[in-house]
Amino acid sequence: MQFIKTMKKIYLTVIGFSILCHLNALSQTKQDSVVNKPTIALHNATGKDSTQYNPRKLRLDEVDLFSSYYTQNGDHSAVTGGIGTEKVTDLSNGISLNFVWTNRNLNKNTLSAALGFDAHSSASQAYVSKTGASHATGNRLYPSLDWTVENSKTGNAFGLGGYISYEYNYASIGGDLHYALKTDNKNGEFSVKLQGYYDLVTLIYPSEFIPAGSITTNYGNHGGEDGHRGNLGTSPRQTYTASFAYSQIINSKLQVALLGDVVGQNGYLGLPFHRVYFSNGKDTIEKLPASRFKLPIGARLNYFLGDEIILRSYYRYFFDNWGIRSNTANLEVAYKITPFFSISPFYRYYNQTQAKYFAPYEGHSPTDQYYTSNYEFSNFNSQFFGLGIRLAPPKGVFGWQNLHELEFRYGHYSQTTDLVSDVFSVSLGFK
């Protein structure tokens, strides 16, 4: 009950803040409220920039609210060595504020500030302590900030971003640098994004592996019944990503994009409260290499089938040096029932091979160098399907003109490992 009351207070605070920002936006003129969003089709077919740049001071252009509820269940928890409950619930809320202004060179500047808050419960993490018999709960807070400046003549853009994320067992700080270069006719765009994340993982061990005489830290109800876990300091983890993309408007109906990432990770890449049971019945904690290389490559294709139907498709191939190979195929069909009301059924299929360090419960040999029973690294197929509903009437949602967009989405996920989940989300856009 205390958890529910806390979430209600946070949600009402976010709503109240958004309304204040919305009232501020009402003081702007209608002309000032028109700013294009960055999309693959930002420019028209003639190659002329459709945005009218006028000298303007800093102003709040848009406020976005989002909320989602996620629930899952399964019976292959990594906390208990590949067996046991995977039941998780998560309630996520967030707000994003977008500010715009033009500088002396008439270049458009966009500053986006976002704040997210997650509250979750996990049945499996209660069993980090052998005495655990209740759900462990936790919170995550993650603010972010992004600044982008777009050249009014060329359409090229440059920006910087920063991120912070904090949860009871890890803290993370990150940043990015991104650049986009448009072709002469503005129908093509090449973009690069460089990201770095620096994490500190709290070394929380299962109760039976806490060294004698070590100091344990009370994490409230994070540790199950008695609330104690072995906190033996922290360990660093770094992730570096270089993302490349090229998008092209082929004609008025067809848009394509080619995507690729290069990802490198170093440091402590496992979690010490993930148990592993060997074939001789003895148990230990997960052990993985201290580095990992990932290379996902993919393509997007959007096709406008008349004025009412948009086909959005996506394919990605992924491989890493841990032995995982995967394929992702996604199709979403956006159908406009009216010019201002649309539905979007979607379907995604995924498969992956097993990592060379994975084995199920009591499947590892004591002589193995690395070992995990986390089914995230197992061989499986999955499906994810659902429906999105979007309202964007010209006079505003429910007659509230500055509430320009309302979207609901529901998705159901299932894995061949018997993991299932459902996610419900809603987002509101204020101008």
pLDDT attached to residue 133: 52
CB 38 within 8 A of CB 156: no
Taking only the tens place, the pLDDT of each residue in 9-47 is 433 343 343 333 333 333 333 333 333 333 333 333 333
What confidence category does residue 77 fall into, taking pLDDT thresholds of 50, 70 and 90?
Answer: very high
pLDDT for res 283: 92
Residue with more model confidence, 411 or 229: 411
Burial class of 10 by CB neighbour count within 10 A (0 to 12, 13 to 18, 19+): middle
Whether residue 404 is predicted with pLDDT greater than 80 in this model: the reply is yes
State pLDDT tens for residues 193-212: 999 999 999 888 888 888 76
The answer to whether the beta carbons of residues 229 and 128 sit under 8 Å apart is yes
Residue 417 C-beta-side C-alpha neighbours within 13 Å: 31
Query: Rounded to the nearest 5 degrees, what angle is found at the Cα of 169, between the Cα atoms of 165 and 172?
Result: 25
Domain residues of the chain, as ranges? Answer: 2-430
165-189: average pLDDT: 95
pLDDT at 26: 31
* pLDDT of the residue at 40: 31
CA-based nearest residue to 274, from 212, 355, 359: 359
Element (H, E) at 266: strand 254-267
DSSP assignment string, 170-221:
EEEEEEEEEEEEE-TTSSEEEEEEEEEEEEEEEEEE-GGGSPTTPPPEE-GG
Tell me the helices (H) and strands (E) count for the chain, helix number first: 1, 19
The average pLDDT across 87-113 equals: 95
**Mean pLDDT, rounded, for 99-114:** 94
Stretch 140-158: mean pLDDT, rounded? 96
Predicted confidence (pLDDT) at residue 374 exceeds the cutoff of 80: yes
Query: For residue 112, what are its two tokens?
Result: 């986006």
pLDDT surpasses 50 at 2: no
pLDDT reported for residue 126: 84
CA distance 359 to 369: 13
What does the alpha-carbon distance between residue 308 and residue 130 come to, in Å, rounded to a whole number?
Answer: 57
Per-residue model confidence (pLDDT) at position 355: 98
Percentage of the chain modeled with pLDDT above 70: 81
Residue with tokens 């600044």: 147
Question: Percentage of residues in the chain with pLDDT exceeding 90?
Answer: 70
User: Which amino acid does the sequence have at 42?
Assistant: L
Tell me which of 256 and 122 has the higher pLDDT.
256
Confidence of residue 76 (pLDDT cuts 50, 70, 90): very high
Average pLDDT over all residues of the chain = 85
Q: Residue 345: which pLDDT band, with cuts at 50, 70 and 90?
A: very high
pLDDT for 16: 44
CB 237 within 8 A of CB 271: no
> What pLDDT, in 10s, does the model give residues 221-269?
333 333 334 456 889 999 999 999 999 999 999 999 999 999 999 999 9
Most confident of 6-15, 164-173, 316-325: 316-325
Give pLDDT, residue 132.
60
The Cα 51–Cα 109 span in angstroms is 13
Say what the pLDDT of residue 228 is: 37
CA distance 62 to 238: 33
Bridge partners of residue 183, in order along the sequence: none
Q: For domain 2-430, is the CATH number 2.40.160.40?
A: yes
Find the length of the chain.
431
Which value, in Å, is the radius of gyration of the alpha carbons in the chain? 24
**DSSP β-bridge partners for residue 416:** none
* Confidence band for 54, pLDDT divided at 50, 70 and 90: low
Q: What would the DSSP string read from start to end of 312-360?
A: EEEEEEEEETTS-EEEEEEEEEEEEEETTEEEEEEEEEEEEPPPTTB--
Which residue did the predictor score with more confidence, 47 or 354? Answer: 354
Alpha carbon distance 292, 322 (integer Å): 7
